[in-house]
Amino acid sequence: MENFKSIELFAGAGGLALGLHESGFTPQLLVEIDKYASDTLRLNMPDWNVLNTDIRAIDLNTLDISQDIDLISGGAPCQSFSYAGLRGGLEDTRGTLFYDFARFIDFFKPKVFLFENVKGLITHEGGHTINTIISTFENLGYTVRWELLKAIHYEVAQKRERIIMIGVRKDIHDVNGDFTYPKPQNKILTLRDALVDVPESIGASYPETKKKSARLSTTWWLLA
């Protein structure tokens, strides 16, 4: 397996970074503002370079990263952007956390980026937000595609929908051509498939008042 170099932004506790790591990526840096998520990352992956800080405070020139970066990944929260201009440059996104995701792209110029976000981004501000994001990436020199993918179609027992946006640096895309997303799987996994070899649990104990409330709710649903 090849050893690609990556940077993970808005890393959380490392779910995305772990999947990428198992696919051949070695993170050179992971940025996460939440202390407990950062501590979880460090505990599980002690060799990883985790930076627990506000991404907006990072001076990119001070980062000790000498390797060429193959991939930058993450999912920045996307607040409303300014309607002024629609130039698609970084200035259109200033004041949002997406600006800092794009700032890393502009500085490191990775071969590829992976930007993930919630389904609501498609219709947010009447499509203005996602169009500004795409335009910004294109102006930074990337060919951009996105799809709305459902986790349950990819052997994950969870009904989670996410926009997965992929950008390939144009000099690489022009040589290698377009790329495709993985095809949905026919098999749909359930919790029974996922929870294998889980120790038996006695479950949670509820007070009598809560039990009564649950019984009443169940009865109402049956009669409705």
We report the CATH number of the domain holding residue 13 as: 3.40.50.150
151 is a domain residue:
yes
79 is a domain residue:
yes
Instruction: Considering only residues 168 and 81, tell me which one the structure prediction assigns the higher pLDDT.
Output: 168
In the structure, what pLDDT confidence band is assigned to residue 121 with cuts at 50, 70 and 90?
A: confident
Q: Picking from 5-9, 65-69, 104-108, 133-137, which range would have the lowest pLDDT averaged per residue?
A: 65-69
Instruction: Considering only residues 146 and 83, tell me which one the structure prediction assigns the higher pLDDT.
Output: 146
pTM (2 d.p.): 0.81
Name residues whose C-beta falls within 8 Å of residue 37's C-beta, 6 or more positions apart in sequence.
Answer: 11, 12, 13, 14
- Give residue-wise pLDDT tens across range 151-206: 999 888 888 899 999 999 999 988 888 888 999 988 888 888 888 787 877 777 77
216 is a domain residue:
no
- Is 81 within 8 Å of 101 (Cβ atoms)? no
Q: What is the pLDDT of residue 223?
A: 45
Q: What is the mean pLDDT of the chain?
A: 86
Q: What is the pLDDT of residue 221?
A: 45
Alpha helices (runs of H) in the chain, residue ranges in sequence order: 15-22, 35-44, 97-108, 128-139, 170-176, 191-194, 208-223
Residue 115, domain extent: 4-176
Euclidean distance between CA atoms 150 and 89, whole angstroms: 30
Is 78 in the active site? Answer: yes
Catalytic entry in 17, 29, 41, 78: 78
Instruction: Considering only residues 90 and 190, tell me which one the structure prediction assigns the higher pLDDT.
Output: 190
Q: What is the pLDDT of residue 13?
A: 93
48 is a domain residue:
yes
198 is a domain residue:
no
Structural domain count, the chain: 1
Euclidean distance between CA atoms 81 and 133, whole angstroms: 9
Q: Picking from 18-27, 69-78, 183-192, which range would have the lowest pLDDT averaged per residue?
A: 183-192
